Amino acid sequence: SVRAPVVTGPPRPLPVIAAEVVSCTKCELAKTRTNTVFSRGNPEAKLCFVGEAPGADEDAQGIPFVGRAGQLLDRMIQAMGLDPEKDVYVCNIIKCRPPGNRKPEPEETDACIPYLHEQIAVVDPKVIVALGNTAVGTLLNTKLGITKVRGSWKLYRGKIPVMPTYHPSYLLRPSAQQGEAKKQAWDDLQAVMKELG
């Protein structure tokens, strides 16, 4: 099913959206979260990374991608020659941690996604990197898996180029295929660097 995002007029300033998120009770995750997790990095950045949902470390600190996956993400960003604080904006599909790090339920994503659409409208990045199946599926309205869609440009809302690639958590998993996946992720990030010019 295609869940069309609700179009809500001009985006509000980021601090206004962030303040609403802090007190949001639109889904059940509000009951179990420690902190909401809005973003990190630079809202003026040309490059935006979108992950899935906060994990335990992110929930504890209220900042996205601060755990092991986040440390790998920062190394990937640095390998691109970019500064994780100055050159990128980092956020997630949903703002609250699902218990036990389960995948977000469709009703949780539906409740939360307007915040992300508004965030992206304000930041207006030149390029988005969608990390993993949840980000790719939600931003691009596709059920195709990451292995099928990674590495080729798609468009978010018909205008912002999106590069789908593996989620850093996936790259951290021990498996025979991870070497190849890392190479592919690096190819994807090099395509992003080229697009950014």
Return the number of the residue (92 or 119) whose C-beta is nearest ligand URA: 92
Nearer Cβ to ligand URA (1/52) = 52
Q: What is the nearest approach in angstroms of ligand URA to the Cβ of residue 73?
A: 8
Q: Which is nearer to ligand URA, 53 or 80 (CB)?
A: 53
State the nearest-atom distance from the C-beta of 171 to ligand URA, in Å: 12
Q: Where along the sequence are the contacts to ligand URA (CB under 6 A)?
A: 51-55, 58, 64-65, 67, 69-70, 92, 169
Residue 123 CB contacts under 8 Å (≥ 6 apart), including other chains: 14, 43, 44, 45, 48, 89
Rounded alpha-carbon distances, angstroms, from residue 161 to 4, 5, 35, 74: 19, 18, 31, 21
Residue 10 Cβ, how far from ligand URA at the closest point, in Å? 27
Alpha helix (H) ranges present in the chain?
Answer: 14-22, 29-32, 56-61, 68-79, 106-123, 132-140, 146-149, 168-172, 178-196
| CB closest to ligand URA, residue no | 51
